[in-house]
Structure 1
Amino acid sequence: MSSFLQQLPALIGVVIGALGSYLAVVRGDRVRFRREQEARWDERRLAVYAEWAQALKRTVSVDYRVAAHLGNDPHPHPLSPQEAEPLLAEAQLARDPHGEKLIMLGSPTVVGKAQEWVVTVMEMERFLREGRRDPAAWRILLDRQRDGRDRYYAAVREDLALPPGHSGRLPLPAEM
C-alpha cells in the first residue's frame, strides 16, 4: 500500500494533465470552429453584397442609356425608353431575390445604405419615365446615385472589416 501512496501524486498529476489537455483541445476546437464559421458568413455576406450591387448596377446602366437618348447623359449607346422597358423589368426581377438575401444576411447599416441607394435609382427611373430633358437635374441625380453607391460600399467594407477602397468614380465630361 505504501508504494501506491507514493505513486498517487504522480497518478493524480497525470489525470489532471490529461484533463487539462482535453479541456484545452476542446476549447481550441470551439474557438477554431467559431472563427471558421464567422469567416464563412463573412464570405457569404460579401457575395450577397456584391450580387445585390451588381443587380442594381444593371438598372443604373440601362438608365444611363435612356438618359443619353433623352439628351441628359453622354453615354455612347443611347436606348429609347420603349427599348429599355423590358431590360429594366428584367433587371428588377433579377434584383429582387438579391434584395431578399441582403435583408436576411446584411447588417442593418448595410441594408439601410442599400435602401438609400435604390431609392435614388428609383428617382432616376421616374425622371426618365417622365421623359424629362434636363441635363443639370440629371447630373444631380447621377451624383446622388454615385454618393449612395459610395456609402453602400463604405458600409460593406466596415461590416466586413475591409480596408477603405477606391470610389470607382470616373470623371464626368464638363459639358453634357
Structure 2
Amino acid sequence: MTSQIITLIGVLLGALTSFVATNWAERARFRQTLATRWDERKLDAYIEYMSCVKEVVRAARQAMEAREHGDDNAESIAEMQAAEARRSVLFEGLILLCDDAAADAARAVNQRTWDLLRLARRAEADASGQHRELGRLVIEALNTLHVAARQDLAMQHPMPSPGRRQTPAP
C-alpha cells in the first residue's frame, strides 16, 4: 500500500511538473508572438511616418523652387498640404507605439518640418537658399529618428555605411 501511495504521488508530481512546464512554455511563446506582432506594427509605423515626411519635404522644395523660378506653385502647395495632413495622422499612430526617445526624435522632426512648411507657404520669394538649409535640418532630425527607431526596435545597424568603422563585439 505504501509503495502504491509513493507511486501515485510520483505520478501526480510528474503530471503537475509537466503541466507547469507546458503552461510556462505556452505563455512564453504567446508573449514572443505578441511582441513580434507589435514590433512589426511599430516598424511599419516608423517607415510610413518617415516616408511621409520625405514627401512633405519634396513637395515643399518643389513649391519653393517653382516660386523662385516664377512658376505657379499651387499644385506643389496642394500636394504639400495633403502630405502634411497625412503626416499628422501617421504621427499620432507612431506616438502610440514608440518609446520616449523615439517620440522626442519624432517631435523634433515635426518641428523642423513645420519650419520648412511655414517658409514654403510664404507668398513672397525671399527665401532663396533658406529652404535648402531647413530641408537639411529635417533630414538631420530624420537621421536622429532612425537611430532612436533602431534602438526602440532593438536592432543593430544592419550594414556599416561607408566610412563607418565596425567595432568588434565584446
Shorter-normalised TM range: 0.7 to 0.9
> 2:134, 2:51 → 1: CA distance?
19
Give unmatched runs, 5+ long, in structure 2: 162-170
The 1:94/1:51 distance shift into structure 2, 3 A limit, reads same
- Establish whether residue 132 from structure 1 lines up as the match of residue 123 from structure 2: no
> 1:25, 1:163 → 2: CA distance?
33
Deviations 1:86-129 (A, max 9, x none): 11221122223212211222222212111101211111122222
Q: TM-score, normalised by structure 2?
A: 0.82
Q: Given that residues 46 and 149 in structure 2 are in contact (C-alpha distance below 8 angstroms), is that contact kept between their aligned partners in structure 1?
A: yes
Q: Given that residues 39 and 153 in structure 2 are in contact (C-alpha distance below 8 angstroms), is that contact kept between their aligned partners in structure 1?
A: yes
Q: What is the deviation of 1:152?
A: 0.8
Residue among 95, 99, 114 paired with 1:103: 95
Q: Which residue of 2 aligns with 1:53?
A: 50
The 1:125/1:108 distance shift into structure 2, 3 A limit, reads same
Q: Percent identity at matched positions?
A: 26
Q: Which residue of 2 aligns with 1:116?
A: 108
Q: TM-score, normalised by structure 1?
A: 0.80
> 1:28, 1:145 → 2: CA distance?
46
Q: Which residue of 2 aligns with 1:94?
A: 86
**Aligned Cα root-mean-square deviation (Å):** 2.4
The 1:30/1:18 distance shift into structure 2, 3 A limit, reads same
Q: What is the deviation of 1:141?
A: 1.6
Count of residue pairs the alignment pairs up: 159
Deviations 1:11-46 (A, max 9, x none): 211110110010000011111111111111111111
Give unmatched runs, 5+ long, in structure 1: 73-77, 169-176
The 1:79/1:109 distance shift into structure 2, 3 A limit, reads farther
